Amino acid sequence: MVKIGNIELGEFPLLLAPMEDVSDPPFRAVCKDNGADLMYTEFISSEGLIRDAIKSRMKLDIFPYERPVGIQIFGGDEEPMAMAAQIVETTNPDLLDINFGCPVKKVVCKGAGAGILKDIPKMVRLTEAVVKATKLPVTVKTRLGWDDNTKNIEEVAERLQDVGIQALTIHGRTRTQLYKGHADWTLIGKVKNNPRIKIPIFGNGDICTPEQTIAARQKFGVDGVMIGRAAIGYPWIFREIKHFMKTGEHLPPPTVLERVEVCKKHLHQSVSWKGDVVGILEMRRHYANYLKGLPHIKEFRQQLVTYKTLAEIEDVLDAIVSQYKDHIFERTSPPQAEQNFLPADNEMAGCNVYV
């Protein structure tokens, strides 16, 4: 049983990654339906929380169906991060996560996210300040290092454990890689197999298939995996991995009707939480992935990202079901899926491999 504090996550949990502008409550709802064991909010600025910024406060919204759920914060200064941790605690999440992995320039330039990887002593002080400021279990998500010359994750893991974090998720890239090239799981495995490390270690990076998940477990010994881009528009990835790990067999891909029904639920949750205008607008980023693999879908997709009312969009989705009701998705194995984790030079390279 993998545990973070008193939170039991099962034998080999599957975590949904915190993704900015993606991992909101509507998206988390459909991932939870399909088997995600632990989910995180989009990352929240510590400075934004202290200023009472509306967008930051809205990201604190969590719902009973999501549990266990963690709220993730980021920042580059100890006092604001400690204050943010106290604010987060009042919303009663199951845990608090610190983002030391975001590679985006506007975050890094403030010494936050992956920017902290240039100053490990500060990273340790900041983490300790958060741990001391809250009674919640504190976890961290980070990367291997800043660049190829500073892959110091083994030292980082020990030092963060020593100041009280209760789990660590490692993305197998450096900051300078961004999301390009291959994720290197070798160092993730070294951290997990370090006899000094007693906390759960979760691996992240290029997990798109059940075979890759099993390889991560068997080759590197991680306690679980975190899935990000592969779940966008394809929340079934969680149930498919669990079924394969249990039976050794692949589930059939979701039908067009299943895809549309889940897409509709996502849409309705988005409108309910954000309101008609914003809910419909921000849902547009998801349609291409929900409909991936359907031939000649461009006209329908154009309508979905153009129409402005819920009724119009639902009519388009119903028309898609009617036109493609006989379409059969076929599973194609990504090259060397069992041997290597796939490159991610493109946003969704190698993921959602039903066509």
* Catalytic positions, written as ranges: 102
Task: Tell me if 275 sits within 8 A of 40, measured CB to CB.
Answer: no
CA-based nearest residue to 151, from 172, 168, 126:
172
Helix (H, G, I), strand (E, B), or coil: what is residue 299? helix
CB neighbours of residue 171 within 10 Å: 29
Question: How remote is the C-alpha of 235 from its chain's centroid?
Answer: 11
Distance CA 321, CA 325 (A): 5
Task: Tell me if 69 sits within 8 A of 28, measured CB to CB.
Answer: yes
Burial (Cβ within 10 Å: 0-12, 13-18, ≥19) of residue 218: exposed
Residue in the structure block whose two tokens are 């902290």: 116
